[in-house]
Amino acid sequence: MPPNAFAGAQLSINLDAITPNWRALGARLKSGARAGAVVKADAYGLGMAAVARALHAAGCRDFFVASLDEGVDLRKLLSDCRISVFFGPQPGEAEEFSRHRLKPILNDLGQIELWRTHASRGAPGKAVLQIDTGMSRLGLPPEEVARLEAEPERLSGLDIAFVMSHLACAEQPEHPMNEAQLAEFKAALESLGQIVGPAKTSFANSSGIFLGPEFHFDLARPGAALYGINPTPDKANPMSEVVRLQGKILQVRRVDSPRSVGYGAAHMVARPSWIATVPVGYADGYLRSASKQASGYIRGVQVPVVGRVSMDMITLDVTEIPPEHAQPGALVDLIGGPHSIDAFAAEAGTIGYEILTSLGRRHRRSYIENGREREGAA
């Protein structure tokens, strides 16, 4: 029996869409550039094991994760790929990076010194160097870039595989930050050129790929677009849909004024209505902020969410749906199908990233791969 065999919702993850998305993004890159894949946060909540194996089978060899733990887990799945870890090494972690053949992304002078000390003991010194060009998170700020240029011995013994930075506003093509970051990245590369040697370069995330070839450099790092989130929010989504969440109706009941629906009596019916209860709530990633804003779809017909989203349930007004189509056990499309993940995210006042990574573990999951659907965990 598959996990969550009796769940009230079905989450379908289409691996046959993820791999074409990866190929399509790679095809947009300039000649000589290649696309990696960001699979952090359990592949944005969709299951790193299934997603990484599918991408590897499609030819991807450059993977990015956030933490050392994620890197160790990914190495157990894939032996012949390059894995870079965004957070870089912390004290006591260097040996684990080497043991699992993970490339740390060095984000400040302290991490550079930690890794150089590790390499001086005979360990492999391959690493990635990150430059902060405006995010003000990880990466060497301008003053540390200048210090590294003045003190090149800080990189002695290290093999810098590539130098990277990260775009802050790539989903807004006209934002001046994009060109400002590009200029700062190029300036940093020029100043460090003699120090890092023939290192490759990486700059573009999903949306950055669509900014044009000057942002592509050698290696792009798509993440959200692989999973069907629109990398060009001001245009039609060029990516294929990956996830579909469908809930099963638990109950349908007639409600008339002056009765209310849900917590806080937040919805008062104004006419005789039929209200369907579906067992999906904020514990399952259907965010509470979507209360009174979101909709489901039954056979392509929109049905509004009424009342507040609770931990385990939502209520929908199905008055306009023929009774034979709104019965216990009938499926309601909540995310995907006629209701894209970006549309639901907008209704919830957030972004598709948060929706994907919030999808709970109570759904009955299935994966579509090579034209076949299989149920179970990643």
Q: Which positions are annotated as active-site residues? A: 40, 263
At residue 33, the 3 state secondary structure works out as: coil
CA distance 356 to 376: 18
Q: Judge whether 326 and 276 are in contact, CB under 8 Å.
A: yes
Q: Judge whether 35 and 22 are in contact, CB under 8 Å.
A: yes
| Residue ranges of E strands in 256-371 | 260-261, 267-268, 273-278, 295-298, 301-306, 314-317, 331-335, 364-369
Q: Which of 373, 355, 375 is nearest to 45 (CA)?
A: 355
Q: Judge whether 241 and 340 are in contact, CB under 8 Å.
A: yes
Angle at alpha carbon of residue 203, lines to 98 and 24, rounded to 5°: 100
CA distance 296 to 279: 13
Q: Judge whether 198 and 14 are in contact, CB under 8 Å.
A: no
At residue 300, the 3 state secondary structure works out as: coil
